[in-house]
Each structure stands twice: as C-alpha cells, then as structure tokens.
Amino acid sequence: MAHNINFNETTGRYSFFSVKEKAWHGLGQIISDYPTSEQAINYAGLNYEVAKTPLYTKGSGIIETADGIEIGSNELHVPNYFANIRTDNNAVLGVVGKDYQIVQNCEAFSFFDAIVGGGEGILYETAGALGKGERIFITAKLPDYIRVGNGDDITEKYIFLTTSHDGSGSITAAFTPIRIVCQNTLNASLRNMTNVVRIKHTAGAKGRLENAHKVMGLANSLSNQLQDIFNDWAKVKVTDHEVKKLIQLALCPNKETLDLINKGAIDEVSTVFKNTVEDAFAYAMISDSQQMETTKGTLFGAYNAVTGYYQNVRSYKDDEAKLQSIVMGGTAQQKTQKAFELCGAFAKDGAELFRLN
C-alpha cells in the first residue's frame, strides 16, 4: 500500500514518528518514551512553517521593451490567489484564496494542550506529514480509559487531528477510542455532542481550534457517558439471529435493501451485501476479541462486530483510505454510528431493532 509519508531530503528522514511500535509502513522514527509537544514536532519532521506568497503565471504575447516591441513571455500576477509554500525548502504545497488562514504545525498542537490545560497528561503516539508536507496528522492518548465489565476490556481514549496546507480541506479533530484487545475504532456520537469537529481555514480558525475540545466534550462527559453505555450493553444478552439482524441493518446500503431485509427476503439482496454481512457476522462469531465475557453473546459484542469488521476485516485501497473511512466521516464511521444507534434502540426495547427503517 502507498504510504505517501513525506521524505525530508535535508534531514534524510521520513516525516513520521511512533512511540514504541513501528507503523505498518515501517518508516520514520521509533522512540521509546512519549514526547512533549516540542519534541513531537521535531521527531515528526513538522518543524517547518508555511507562508502565503503572491501567485504568478506565465503570459505570452507582445511585450514593450526599451528596444521596441517583441514577442515573448512575461509573468502575470494572479489576483486574490496565493501559493502556500514551505519556508524551509520553498516547496509549493497548494493554491489558496485570499481569506485562507494558515494554521502552523506548531499551532495545531494547541488543540491538545487546551484539553488538559498546558499539555500535562497528553501522550503523543504518532505524528507526521504526507506528500510534500501539505497534510499533517497527530494522534495522542489521554491518560484515562473507558472500562467495560470487570476492567479486562478497556478502551483507550485517543484523539486524532489532521490539517492541510493546500486548501483541500478543513482542520479535523476526532475522538477515536481504541479497544486495546483488537484495535477496533469505536466511533460513537452522542446527542448534543460530536466526536468530530471540522474548522475551516478562515479568520478565527486558531481560536476555534483551541476551543474545539469543549464542543466535542472530549475531556470528561463524552467518555464517561460512553463507559456507562458500554457497560449496560455488556449485560444485555442477544441471540446470533439478533446479531446478524443488527449487522444487516447497520450495513444496509440503501432503502431498497432495507425493504428486502424488513420483508425477510434476504435471498434477493445483492451478493456483495450478503458477503459483507457474512464477513462481519463471522468476525462476531470467531474473533478472539468477541469471546470475552463483555462481548460473547452481548449487545456490546454485537456493536463491536460492526466496528471490528471495518477495522480488521474490510479491505481498503490504502492506509489513507482506511483512515478516511473509519475516522474522518467516511462509510465505516457512518455505519458504526448507525450500529451505535441501533444498539441504543435495542437496549431500550429489543423488539424496536426489528421495526427501525
């Protein structure tokens, strides 16, 4: 799979670091201890700044010179557009409009520092730059856990942030708890809260980034509510038939398929959908992570069957596509959110699961 990790020709290093464990691509710096913000920026090769510079294009035609008129080319200024460049090597990262506000790499870490009032307790896991440095990403871990059952099944509280310097997208911050046992990403958005915040690169972006954690409810309320919900689900018993039905409803691609599911006409759905459901159901039945007391035959296990399918079974074009799908609002995140809502309905009234449309 293509990694697209930036290679810094000046330092001779890939712009990526990971704590203790190598990433799948095997590149970058592997360090033994969690770094500070300043150290993380250096390890990840993010210690460069970005500047907006006037944009010019080559023109051609008749040019007046001191010696008369000649045919040639000249530079023409492009109004209202600018080139974002790295100031360390002058690499052009992208073309942006006049209202685009740069958020420097070091400023992106202010989001993490704001969560715990200065960075104490934030554990930076990975960070890096993609392409020429036009996109950066940072993942960090909060020092507490979400505990399900007797504490053997725990979920680490991870926070992910990515931003671009090429004008292609917003600053995105996401709350992504990770189950230690099987590395499932458990995205779950509660009412009046969100596990993803997107901030446009316009005036005030820096201030909104520093306060994004308040919108997300990251530090306390979101994770506390999730812990209570998951513990409740771990006590709700479900049959294999109910697990498969939940998977069908959560992964359902369109209304036509939903109508067939509700009519019990599973033989009439597409082969692709049937195979997807069978793969997710097989994961629910045989995966080691699904044989724990908190997951085997429980509603919590049914939910993890969906998240585990997208994290551990489904194939993706490359690692970036997987990240986009699972964390940044793609198909996997949408389907796991649907599973979260279905499980909530089942916990309230088991029969409701079979009436949702």
Mean pLDDT over all residues of the chain? 79
Confirm if 170 and 200 have CB atoms less than 8 A apart. yes
Contacts of residue 38, Cβ cutoff 8 Å, sequence gap at least 6: none
Reported pTM: 0.70
pLDDT one-digit tens code per residue, 210-268: 777 666 665 556 677 888 888 999 999 999 988 898 999 989 888 998 888 888 888 88
pLDDT band for position 64 (cuts 50, 70, 90):
very low
pLDDT one-digit tens code per residue, 122-136: 788 888 888 899 988
Three-state SS at 68: strand
pLDDT one-digit tens code per residue, 7-61: 778 877 877 888 876 554 455 678 888 888 888 899 889 999 999 998 877 665 5
What b/e sequence results for 205-239 when a residue is b if at least 16 CB atoms lie within 10 Å of its CB, and e otherwise? bbebbeebbeebbbbeebbebbbebbbebbebebe
pLDDT one-digit tens code per residue, 156-168: 778 888 889 998 8
CA distances from 5 to 84, 118, 135, 253 (A): 19, 29, 10, 33
pLDDT one-digit tens code per residue, 75-103: 677 888 899 999 999 999 999 998 999 99
pLDDT one-digit tens code per residue, 336-346: 888 888 998 88
Domain ranges of the chain: 7-48+102-228, 234-354
DSSP code string of 10-44: TTTEESEEEESS--TT--SEEESSPPPHHHHHHHT
